[in-house]
Amino acid sequence: MRNAVITVISDISTDQRVLKHASLLKETGFDVTVIGRRIGGSEELPGSPIRTLRLRIPFKKGVLMYSLFNLRLFFSLIVRKADLYVANDLDTLLPSFLISRLYRKPLIYDSHEYFTGQHGLEERRLKYHVWKWIEKRLLPHIKWMITVSASIADIYKKEYGITPVVVRNISSSPAGISSRSRSEAGADEGDLLAVFQGSGINPGRGAEELIEAMILTEGVKLLIIGTGDVYENIKRLAMFRGVSRKVKFLQRMPWEEMMSYTMCCDVGLSLDKDTCINQRYSLPNKLFDYISARIPVIASPLPEISSVVTEYGCGIMLGKVTPEEIAEKLMILKEDTALLDSLKKRAVEASSELTWEKEKITEQDLLRLVIR
């Protein structure tokens, strides 16, 4: 059996993109090992056919964390000769690239985002220039690349002449997952129950505006699931603004458990703001999780997100991400049950089209080219 090694710096247990691609490699006939970083609270994967190695790094973030992780990753890879290497994002690419060249084995680079276009990165000039230097040195030599949206693929093509294959973050089917009761999610009878989820609830994601919007609503309850740089801040904001009774906070959890909550909600919120090139052209996991859970979305007016929601008619677009606009759209769905029912039906239709079983065909075609 051929061996594949996947490298990633995120939490393996909650990174659905990595887990789906690892499963696809397994289906294709590879023995798969995923090497990542041990993060506090990381769940194990009991019974999984995919081996994992989690590197312990004493630093949580910053240059020391990235440097030590890449160094340890390099030495972990050098003793694990594989037939295929898959690097997820720029922060694992350098050691994966060097080892693939050393052993003369193919490498697939999966860019989950436009890495050097992230929010706030350009303001940290040294950090930006280091990552951009790595990107400029390596990407012209990458033969096989995947990314998450057509717009981001176009950027990479213009910059480096590489044409990435687009594999969107479409969710696996939640078949077999039982929905939680609405009371477990914090809703009373007659409430509109909204959900806002994400493992990266960070600045620019609209979380603060959402808490402020809850002040302006009646009969609306909000479930927030995830973690991130502003997670604790918005918990304090909800208490300070007097809306704690309207908002239930849950920490990051395995995808199946998260979906059991999402499935009992009425609407999902995707509120990323146009703060940087990366977010402008993003197609976040949560958008497809909501559709997979068969609930409509209220979404910010970013082009890739707008294209999906408009094509399938499965939600409402904001004009801009403000507390007033968010509250207005929530109250429209609270008061117009016919509209809500119609959008739910469109979400069900979209969920039958936007499936991982269909989306993975693109990656399967790429794998045939790589390993032929």
* 47: pLDDT strictly greater than 80: no
Following DSSP, what letter does each residue of 34-70 receive, concatenated?
A: EEEE--TTPPP-TT-SSEEEEE--S-SSSHHHHHHHH
Determine whether 154 is exposed, middle or buried from the number of CB atoms within 10 Å of its CB (0-12, 13-18, 19+). Answer: middle
The mean pLDDT of the chain is: 94
> Which pairs count as long-range contacts for 360-365, CB under 8 Å and 24+ apart, including other chains?
360/20, 360/24, 360/167, 362/165, 362/166, 362/167, 363/21, 363/24, 363/146, 363/165, 363/167, 364/24, 364/28
Q: How far apart are CA 42 and CA 40, in angstroms?
A: 6
> What DSSP letter does each residue of 62-93 carry, written as one string?
SHHHHHHHHHHHHHHHHTS--SEEEEESHHHH
pLDDT of residue 12: 83
> Residue 316's beta-bridge partner residues?
298
Q: What is the pLDDT of residue 122?
A: 72
| Structure-derived torsion over alpha carbons of residues 300, 19, 172, 26, reported in degrees to the nearest 10 | 150
Q: Which residue has the tokens 């497809």?
A: 288
Averaged over 1-19, what is the pLDDT? Answer: 90
**Is the pLDDT reported for residue 78 higher than 90?**
yes
Residue 27 CB contacts under 8 Å (≥ 6 apart), including other chains: none
DSSP conformational letter for 118:
-
Euclidean distance between CA atoms 328 and 243, whole angstroms: 17
Written as six digits, the tokens of 174 are 């939640």
Query: What pLDDT is stored for residue 1 in this prediction?
Result: 79
- C-alpha to C-alpha distance for 117 and 46, rounded to whole angstroms: 36
Please report which confidence band the pLDDT of residue 9 belongs to, taking 50, 70 and 90 as the band edges. Answer: very high
User: What mean pLDDT do residues 24-31 have?
Assistant: 94
pLDDT band, residue 43 (cuts 50/70/90):
low
Tens of pLDDT, residue by residue over 280-320, are 999 999 999 999 999 999 999 999 999 999 999 999 999 99
Q: List domains and CATH numbers for the chain.
A: 2-170+356-371 (3.40.50.2000), 192-353 (3.40.50.2000)
What is the residue type of 108? I
Report residue 344 as tokens: 């739910």
On whether the CB atoms of residues 371 and 2 are closer than 8 A, the answer is yes
In three-state form (DSSP H/G/I as H, E/B as E, the rest C), the secondary structure along 286-305 is HHHHHHHCCCCEEECCCHHH
Burial 70-103 (b: 16+ CB within 10 A, else e): bebbeebbeeeebebbbbbbbbbbbbbbbbbeee
pLDDT at 10 (0 to 100) = 85
Q: Which two tokens stand for residue 332?
A: 């429209």
**CA-closest candidate to residue 30, choices 13, 55, 11, 51:** 51
Single pTM value for the model: 0.92
